[in-house]
Amino acid sequence: MDEAVGTDVGVDESVGTDEARVGIRVDRDRCASTGLCALFSPEFFDQSETDGRVLPRARDAALGALPALRAAAARCPAEAITVVAPSGRGERRQMPD
Ligand code: SF4
């Protein structure tokens, strides 16, 4: 896959329902092309063969994927991955000052 999918994703329209989903948002401008997300979480992320930047495989995921997505966001050295929990709050790794 070499085409960005939902890089502006983040709105979870199923909030408050039994089908709550976790939104996956990536900022390709921030991406440092490390490939860590695609290496550790290939079910959610791919890496462009053109520029090496992240390509999300989906706009959202089942609620059970939240821990894995949080881990991916925490692992990203560029803070390029934001996980949007069903509460609607975006979560991104906070870099130390
Ligand atoms: S871990 Fe972060 S910097 Fe590395 S490829 Fe994924 S989004 Fe880009």
Looking at residue 85, its pLDDT comes to 81
73 membership: H or E segment, kind and range: helix 66-75
CA of residue 5 to ligand 1 center, whole Å: 15
Instruction: Provide CB contacts within 8 A for 12, sequence distance 6+.
Output: 20, 21, 22, 23, 60, 84, 86, 88
CA of residue 10 to ligand 1 center, whole Å: 18
pLDDT, tens digit, for every residue of 5-41?
A: 444 434 444 444 457 899 999 999 999 999 999 999 9
* Pair 83, 90: CB distance under 8 Å: yes
> Which residues form the pocket of ligand 1, taking CB atoms under 6 Å from any ligand atom?
26, 31-37, 47, 54, 76-78, 80-81
Looking at residue 88, its pLDDT comes to 67
CATH number at residue 27: 3.30.70.20
* Residue 38 within any structural domain of the chain: yes
The more confident residue out of 92 and 96 is: 92
Q: Which domain holds residue 56?
A: 21-91
Q: Which atom of ligand 1 is nearest to the CA of 75?
A: 1
Looking at residue 12, its pLDDT comes to 42
